[in-house]
Amino acid sequence: MDAPDSSLGHAAESIRPARQPDVAAQPSAHHVIRARLLSFNADPGDDDTPAEGSVSYIEDGALWWSGGVIQAVGEYAHIAPRLPADTTLIDHRDKLVMPGFIDSHVHYVQLEIMASYGRQLLDWLNEYTFPEECRFAKREHAEHIADVFLDELMRVGTTTAQVFCSSHPGSVDAFFSAARRRDLCMLAGKVLMDRHAPDALTDDTLGGIRDSERLISDWHGTARLGYSVTPRFAPTSTRAQLDAAGGLLRNDPSLWLQTHLAENLGELDWVAELFPGSRDYLHVYEASDLVGPRSTFAHGIHLDDGMRQRLADRGANIAFCPSSNLFLGSGLFDRAGARQQRLKLTLASDIGAGTDLSGLATLKAAYQVGQLRGTPLTAWAGFHDLTLGNAVSLSLDDRIGSLTAGKDADFVVIDPMASPLMARRMGRTRSLSEELFTLMMMGDDRTIYETWAGGRLQHRRQG
């Protein structure tokens, strides 16, 4: 947590206080936030007490950044004398600052069909999702929803997400353009489907791959953006399309992959029917070379130990989507069992089947699922998973996931007293752990006071 440059000798008093940081602030200017700082150095484990050295908490901390990069993190008293004279000081001593939240699996094109009543996966896809995704053929619609979606992410403190677009390449251009304008770190990809979907969403098998190649060349590795090859799930791709998707990954190992796996029992039966030569669902993806350390498989509820072990051996991750799994009645993901097998996990909202974009709401649902399985999620594990854990599992931890000098300046300013009831409840907490648990059970968009990404103020709560 040391500053890369220690040749600065200015007194704290010379720093300019700022009541209203400029939203379009020059990212190169020096800023420091004085606040309580919480960040993870490692996985805290699942015990009530976090593993030794896994948590970094500074009661009177300073987070100093410029040029979109964190310069130093530490005790305010230690950092202040080293700040350049023109540093803007933001006094948030009554707030808690954490790394920006990460959502490992979300469909921006489903934002407007959240809370569509009463179906399980396959009917829900046919009845609500596919018709909605058809609307993204229109570029203006995609641009509008991409902006609304990113506004919403900022309102809930999510600074990075791995995002499904629709099968229209324009929906990806719209999303990446909007993310680049805001200087956000985002992964996204064009949905690949060459069967079992409406004609308006169905690719020509290799045409979808050529579109993906064009998008990769335009976007992957530009600004803070990465491309995720995105076959929707086994039932909507032929073997030829899955193989071609695997070819993209072999050609460029820096690409990500995202898809769905073993979410719903009806889906499992359908996959067995469609791929009679595969010994199980995971094998469908393995046979096309889609399972690797940069692969995210959403849900993974109905997997046996053998499949989980194969995923763990390849370093792939399962995105646990608790509010979605509850909403579609898909099942109660066995997080504890998966962790015992050392399977990499991520946490995700999975909007539009998920019921809330907020990472705090995702933690609450994960806790509730854990309770029903006899393994409730601790606040330490929850906030670790939402930040550093997701960054590590997505191979993004060289840039994001913790408050560390040299990483990107993506963080969230939390107001634990955001509502009268929260303030009342916080008055009764006796430890940081209790405070964090209250945040994850009672927090919502009001709890997010500010969201910063790329060193820029992206959102400040009104009022």
Residue span 183-222 as binding mask against ligand GUN, x where in contact by CB under 6 A, dash where not:
----------------------------------------
298 scored as a contact of Zn ion (CB under 5 A): yes
- Site residues for ligand GUN, 392-431, by CB under 6 A, read none
Selection from 185, 25, 3 nearest residue 90 by Cα = 25
What is the C-alpha radius of gyration for the chain, rounded to an integer number of angstroms? 22
CB-wise, 87 or 166, nearer to ligand GUN? 166
Report strand pairing: 456-460 vs 448-453: antiparallel
The distance of closest approach from Cβ of residue 232 to Zn ion in the complex, given in angstroms and rounded to an integer, is: 9
CA atoms within 13 A on the CB side of 255: 24
Task: Please choose which of Zn ion, ligand GUN, none residue 263 contacts, taking the beta carbon within 5 to 8 angstroms, the exact cut-off set by kind.
Answer: ligand GUN
The distance of closest approach from Cβ of residue 189 to Zn ion in the complex, given in angstroms and rounded to an integer, is: 12
CB-wise, 197 or 388, nearer to ligand GUN? 197
Backbone phi, psi, residue 270, to 5°: -65, -40
Residue 67 has a CB neighbour count (10 Å cut-off) of: 14
168 scored as a contact of ligand GUN (CB under 6 A): no
Q: Which residues contact 213 (CB under 8 A, 6 or more apart)?
A: 248
Distance CA 161, CA 164 (A): 10
Distance CA 179, CA 147 (A): 8
CB-wise, 334 or 350, nearer to ligand GUN? 350
Going from the C-alpha of 385 to that of each of 175, 298, 300, 348, 414, the distances in angstroms are 25, 15, 17, 10, 17
Q: According to CB under 6 A, which one of 219, 233, 297, 437 is a site residue for ligand GUN?
A: 233
Please, are residues 302 and 334 in contact by the beta-carbon 8 Å criterion?
no
The distance of closest approach from Cβ of residue 343 to ligand GUN in the complex, given in angstroms and rounded to an integer, is: 19
Going from the C-alpha of 450 to that of each of 87, 152, 265, the distances in angstroms are 19, 13, 41
- Site residues for ligand GUN, 113-142, by CB under 6 A, read 121, 125, 129
Size of the site for ligand GUN (CB under 6 A): 11
The distance of closest approach from Cβ of residue 398 to ligand GUN in the complex, given in angstroms and rounded to an integer, is: 30
333 scored as a contact of ligand GUN (CB under 6 A): no
CB-wise, 348 or 439, nearer to ligand GUN? 348
The distance of closest approach from Cβ of residue 236 to ligand GUN in the complex, given in angstroms and rounded to an integer, is: 7
Q: Which residue has the tokens 């990500």?
A: 256
- The angle that helices 169-182 and 205-219 make with each other, rounded to 10 degrees, is 20
Q: According to CB under 6 A, which one of 215, 234, 353, 414 is a site residue for ligand GUN?
A: 353
CB-wise, 164 or 437, nearer to Zn ion? 164
CB-wise, 42 or 122, nearer to ligand GUN? 122
**Token pair in block for residue 360:** 């705090």
Distance CA 58, CA 39 (A): 9
The distance of closest approach from Cβ of residue 429 to Zn ion in the complex, given in angstroms and rounded to an integer, is: 35
Task: Please choose which of ligand GUN, Zn ion, none residue 125 contacts, taking the beta carbon within 5 to 8 angstroms, the exact cut-off set by kind.
Answer: ligand GUN
- Site residues for ligand GUN, 14-53, by CB under 6 A, read none
Cα torsion for 406, 411, 413, 419, to the nearest 10°?
-160
**Token pair in block for residue 462:** 């009104």
The distance of closest approach from Cβ of residue 356 to ligand GUN in the complex, given in angstroms and rounded to an integer, is: 14
Q: According to CB under 6 A, which one of 168, 260, 344, 459 is a site residue for ligand GUN?
A: 260
Q: Which residue has the tokens 């009645």?
A: 329
Residue span 338-357 as binding mask against Zn ion, x where in contact by CB under 5 A, dash where not:
------------x-------
DSSP string for 148-201: HHHHHHHHTTEEEEEEE--SSHHHHHHHHHHHHHHT--EEEEPEE--SSS-GGG
Task: Please list the alpha-helical segments (H only) found in 220-346.
Answer: 239-251, 265-274, 281-286, 305-314, 322-327, 335-340
Stretch touching Zn ion by CB under 5 A, among 132-140, 284-292, 294-302, 327-335: 294-302
303 scored as a contact of Zn ion (CB under 5 A): no
232 scored as a contact of ligand GUN (CB under 6 A): yes
Task: Please list the alpha-helical segments (H only) found in 292-413.
Answer: 305-314, 322-327, 335-340, 359-373, 379-384, 390-393
- The angle that helices 205-219 and 239-251 make with each other, rounded to 10 degrees, is 20
The distance of closest approach from Cβ of residue 221 to ligand GUN in the complex, given in angstroms and rounded to an integer, is: 26
- Site residues for Zn ion, 93-132, by CB under 5 A, read none
CB-wise, 324 or 358, nearer to ligand GUN? 324
CB-wise, 123 or 204, nearer to Zn ion? 123
Task: Please choose which of ligand GUN, Zn ion, none residue 448 contacts, taking the beta carbon within 5 to 8 angstroms, the exact cut-off set by kind.
Answer: none
The distance of closest approach from Cβ of residue 291 to ligand GUN in the complex, given in angstroms and rounded to an integer, is: 17
Give contact residues for ligand GUN (rule: CB under 6 A). Answer: 107, 121, 125, 129, 232-233, 260, 263, 324, 350, 353
Give contact residues for Zn ion (rule: CB under 5 A). Answer: 298, 350
